[in-house]
Amino acid sequence: MTYLDHAATTPILPEAVAALTGALSTYGNASSLHSSGRRARRAVEEARESIADALGARPSEVIFTSGGTESDNLAVKGIYWARRAEDPARVRLLVSETEHHAVLDAAHWLAEHHGARLTLLEVDDFGRVHEDTLRAAIAENPDDVALVSVMWANNEVGTVNPVRELAGTCAKHGIPFHTDAVQAVGALPVHFGASGASALTLSGHKVGGPYGVGALLLSRDVACTPVSHGGGQERDVRSGTLDVPGIVAMAAAVRVATEQREERAARLAALRDDLVRAVRAVLPEAVLNGDPGESLVDGAPSRLPGNAHFTFPGCEGDSLLMLLDAKGIECSTGSACTAGVAQPSHVLLAMGIEPAPARGSLRFSLGHTSTAADVRALAEAIGPVVERARNAGLAGLRRGTSPAAAEV
């Protein structure tokens, strides 16, 4: 099996498995006052301190959640509500067009049901938000902006945003800045404090931890109204009994992923460059989408090291995916919906790509288990697969509809 979909989820790290299974055989509610509870609480707090240390945050800034989607929703809705409660004029949300649906749909929902005014920040052809775009959007009326949310690195095309610059612009106006760093943690140097962000989303299973656990890093001075109510376990911002095994396993994964980040990122970037070269050697017409990855943003790579995203002209993504799947190569069309129908990606459309080529795109994402053999397998398979998918694309074009055409 050639697994090239690490951006969807990456295999759990042995260190995380050890932490998870170790914790699974213990018990105790971290909110209980007896010794079992204290033991659980201690494990959670050590995990919190470990994550804070790894990501340049203070332990009190780590709020455990059920994953990236919850963290994004909590940040967008919670900070919006809190900001509007302080000043009813603050109803504007500035969100980049290429956000994950967890941010985008939360923002649309606030616009539909909670009086928010949504401004989508335009991106360039690589999918990047420029500081002057944000500055101009804020300048329309700095006093009515509730929140800005721009992802650290895009999950589909891998383009890295100038987070420090964007956060700095927000800071000048006292506007909270949230960033979805689900793809960035473990791949780029993520330092919450240095970034200047007010809130940052991370997810356990994207860094080699378990599913169903994540965190929101939230500055102490940023108010956030809870989305779900209950015991108030996490700073009164997030309720629910803490998932002790999930949390300690995520902490183990974050620890390993950040400690090994530099070496791993360099290895994956080299492997990714091999992959891009190999695909282009077979298919010169394949278009690499997103930032070329040859420059620096905030001193780090301008593209996620493990990301390669191509458009294969004349092909449909679902055909490509099926044919590669049949050859044991697993990748992604980059977006999915509940019915499993491939819609053209909103990220690619925002980058100015037409719907037809957008449908003919695939994301290959590398991770800690990726090898040169994976790249070779793809290089060998991709040529015939694209040729076949292109024929199928042609077959999908309308036949003559005259009656004669329907006869034998």
Partner 1 sequence: MRVLAAMSGGVDSAVAAARAVEAGHDVVGVHLALSAKPGTLRTGSRGCCTVEDAHDARRVADLLNIPFYVWDFAERFTEDVVEDFVAEYAAGRTPNPCLKCNERIKFEALLDKAIALGFDAVCTGHYARLALVDGKPELRRSADLAKDQSYVLASLTADQLARAMFPLGDSVKADVRVEATERGLAVAEKPDSYDICFIPDGDTRKFLTAKLGARPGHLVDDETGAVLGVHAGVHGFTVGQRHGLGIDTPAPDGKPRYVLSLEPVNGNVRVGSADRLAVSEIVASRPIWPSGTPLAGTVDCVAQVRAHGGTSDAQASLVDGQLLVRPTGDLRGVAPGQAVVLYRPDPAGDVVLGSGMISATR
The footprint of partner 1 (CB under 8 A) covers: 318-319, 321-323, 325-326, 337-342, 388-389, 391-392, 394-396, 399, 403, 406-408
Q: Any idea which residue has 């690195």 for tokens? A: 153
Nearer to partner 1 (CB atom), residue 373 or residue 408? 408
Q: According to DSSP H, which parts of 87-191 are helical?
A: 101-113, 131-139, 163-172
Nearer to partner 1 (CB atom), residue 130 or residue 327? 327
Amino acid in position 224: C
- Provide, rounded to whole angstroms, the least separation between the CB of residue 108 and partner 1: 15
- Provide, rounded to whole angstroms, the least separation between the CB of residue 408 and partner 1: 5
Q: According to DSSP H, which parts of 173-260 are helical?
A: 192-195, 244-259
H or E stretch at 376: helix 372-395
Q: Quick check: helix, strand or coil at residue 336?
A: coil
- Provide, rounded to whole angstroms, the least separation between the CB of residue 114 and partner 1: 22
Nearer to partner 1 (CB atom), residue 113 or residue 399? 399
- Provide, rounded to whole angstroms, the least separation between the CB of residue 73 and partner 1: 20
Name the DSSP letter for residue 68: H
- Provide, rounded to whole angstroms, the least separation between the CB of residue 316 and partner 1: 8
Nearer to partner 1 (CB atom), residue 111 or residue 392? 392
Residues whose CB falls within 8 Å of the CB of residue 220, separated by 6 or more in sequence, listed in order:
58, 60, 61
Reading phi first (left if > 0) and then psi (alpha if -120 to 50, else beta), residue 93 is in beta
Q: Which of 165, 167, 163 is nearest to 183 (CA)?
A: 163
The count of other CB atoms within 10 Å of the CB of residue 235 is: 15
Nearer to partner 1 (CB atom), residue 141 or residue 391? 391
Residues whose CB falls within 8 Å of the CB of residue 215, separated by 6 or more in sequence, listed in order:
51, 62, 63, 64, 65, 71, 201, 202, 250
Angstrom distance (rounded) from CA 345 to CA 351: 10
Q: Which residues are catalytic?
A: 337
